Structure 1
């Protein structure tokens, strides 16, 4: 086996890049523990590419399944792991079953080829098609992950390198099909003719890892933003983000006239729970309340922790009659919530104040009126609902 000296240098450079990326992603996973599972996938992906390139570079005239079909399958498996690392990073739905099936089909097609230079063209076609599909699927996952944070134009700009790589591998497959004489240029690594293709593999290795680093940074920014907007204990929206959402909804009301309502409620006798069972039990009650009621409200509603044991729900497109029904559903859900702490049963009830927007209301007056209604519910026996427009009449007496 004779390898062109410049081609050998480029192969060594590719291996160096893949080795560096393997170590770097591994360090991010452990001990730095930055998205450890996703970074572990990225590290393994680079390791498999490294192994595959080394095996591929050993191809000679002697038939060898290790250096021919298996080398390609190892690299393709690395590309699949890049996609699953992205899915883990952004908590997307896993596609492991579909990807495994796709990889199995291509692996079988590759393995049935005779491991020799005569099969180089077919192996190149199969490898290119599978790689193109892998990069297109990777681009799709990135688009889904980035859509909540960025506009479409910027997403397409960020994903353009992946899409270009997929297009280039598709063109490579077509050239091998229709212009087989180019096989020595684009389907081998050892000859001088393969130097342009090797440079492409160098750029590809760099681009893919840079994009994955960009993904990791994007995910980190998303987590920071989420922590800034969410309550650390319950995971609900915090008071700051609630005020922002309420102000935005009120502007929509002024513009379009679509009514909205608020439900402010406070857990009854919460201080006694802390005193009798400890603050850990109190935290458990808050978490269970958020979890149970979060399953009852609609996806368009904003559920936030307003204070210590106070919660606020913003309900778009909800009138006074509807908010009363929703509040009653929340009240009954809390009453039936089976909550135990260290074998002790803790009954959970709450006092609710509701209000529906009207003319001359502002977000501040809405909150003040809801607060007054909630405290009226407490004064009239707790575990009931009072509407801000009817402060003297509980909508639901204590059960």
Structure 2
């Protein structure tokens, strides 16, 4: 076997990069516990890439299932695990069944080829096409995950390394189809002919992990941003997020005339619950109120904790008649859902005020109208519904 010093150095560098990435992602998974499942997938993905490169570097003219088909399968499994780590990181729907089918098809096709340099072209075409598909699917998952928080320009910028890798593997597939002689550089990774491919492996290992680190940071920012908009106790939107969503909905009303309504309600006798049963019981009442009423409102509605024992619901595309029906359902739901605390059933009722947008309204006047209606409901007997109109 004729070896090239530069090729050997590049193989060592690739292995060093993959080993470092494996250990780093493993440390993030445990003991640091930073996105542990996703980090675990990324660690194992780099491990498979490391093993695949080591096995590939041992190829010679002798046929060997270990150094030829198994090496390719290991690298491809690493690519697919990167995708599953991304799905776990962003809580996307798992594609494990589809990927298992793709991997099985690839394994069967490659197993039909005789292991050795004589099958370079066919195996190279199969491997490159599957690798290109893996990176395209990885790019798709990233686009879906990033779309809610970033515009298309930034998404394309962040995904450019993955798109470049998919393009290179696609180009390699086409070259092997129309120029079979180019496949000879994979026969021996330690030869001078393999140096361009080794540089590509270096770039690929770096780019893949840079993208994954970028994904982890993006997910961290998303979680911080989400926590800043959520109430720590109930998990509902907080007052800050509510004002932002109300302002946005009001702009739609001014532009398109899309009617919306508000429901502001205050739990009745909440101070007595704290005094008689403890503040822990009061917290439990707030949590159950948020949980039970979340089952009633629509997915398009914004349910927020307005402050203390007050809650606000923003209802897009809802007129005065519709908001009255929805509010009555909420009141009935509360009445039928007492809180069980230390073998005591605590009845829960609330006073509801509703308001539907009209000409000359602003977000501030809408809140004032709903607040006045709610206090009118309290002053007329509690467990009641009053409309601002």
Q: Structure 2 length as normaliser, TM-score? A: 0.95
Name the counterpart of 1:49.
49
Q: Give the equivalent residue in structure 2 for 1:393.
A: none
Summarize deviations over 1:269-299 as a string: whole Å, max 9, x none. Answer: 3233333443333323322222222232222
Write out aligned runs for 1:181-330 (5 A).
181-185=181-185, 188-330=188-330
**Cα distance in 2, alignment partners of residues 332 and 297 from structure 1:** 13
Gaps (5+ residues) in structure 2? Answer: none
Cα 1:56–1:308 shift into 2, 3 Å: same
SS at match of 2:62: coil
Aligned in 2, Cα 1:223/1:111: closer, same or farther, shift over 3 Å? same
Q: How large is the RMSD of aligned CA atoms in angstroms? A: 1.7
Change (3 A) 1:174 1:257: closer
Deviation, structure 1 residue 252:
2.9
Instruction: Classify 1:117/1:255 alpha carbon distance in 2 versus 1 (closer, same or farther; 3 Å).
Output: closer
Q: Which residue of 2 aligns with 1:161?
A: 161
Moved more, 289-298 or 301-310: 289-298
Distance 1:287 1:100 in 2: 41
Whole-angstrom distance in 1 between the partners of 2:49 and 2:106: 17
Cα deviations by residue, 1:128-156 (Å, 9 ceiling, x for unpaired): 11111110000000000111111112211
Query: What is the SS of the residue equivalent to 1:45?
Result: helix
Distance 1:171 1:360, change over 3 A: closer
Give the aligned partner of residue 91 of structure 2.
91
CA distance, structure 2, for counterparts of residue 113 and residue 341 of structure 1: 68
**SS of residue in 1 equivalent to 2:65:** coil
SS at match of 1:264: strand
CA distance in 2, matches of 1:243, 1:351: 22
Q: Distance in 1 between matches of 2:256 and 2:278?
A: 48
Describe the SS at the equivalent of 1:94: coil
Distance, in Å, in 1 between the alignment partners of 2:179 and 2:101 is 30
Q: CA separation in 2, counterparts of 1:134 and 1:195? A: 24
Distance (whole Å) between structure 1 residues aligned to residue 109 and residue 321 of structure 2 = 64
**Structure 1 residue 308: deviation in Å?**
1.4
Q: 1:365 to 1:310 in 2, by over 3 A?
A: same
Matched position secondary structure for 2:52: helix
Q: How many residue pairs get matched?
A: 389
Output the TM-score relative to the length of structure 1: 0.93
Which consecutive residues of structure 1, in runs of 5 or more, have no partner in the other structure? Answer: 390-399
Q: Give the structure 2 partner of residue 337 of structure 1.
A: 337
Structure 1 residues 354, 291: CA separation in 2 closer, same or farther (over 3 Å shift)? same
Q: Select between 64-73 and 48-57 the one with higher mean Cα deviation.
A: 64-73
Alpha-carbon distance between aligned partners in 1 of 2:220 and 2:187, rounded to the nearest angstrom: 39
Q: Which residue of structure 2 aligns with residue 349 of structure 1? A: 349
* Alignment partners' CA distance in 2, 1:334 and 1:364: 28
Q: Give 1:14's aligned residue.
A: 14
Question: What is the Cα deviation at residue 198 of structure 1?
Answer: 0.8
Q: 1:2 to 1:241 in 2, by over 3 A?
A: same
Which residue does 2:365 correspond to in 1?
365
Distance 1:140 1:160 in 2: 12
Structure 2 equivalent of residue 388 of structure 1: 388
Residue 187 of structure 1: how far off its partner (Å): 5.9
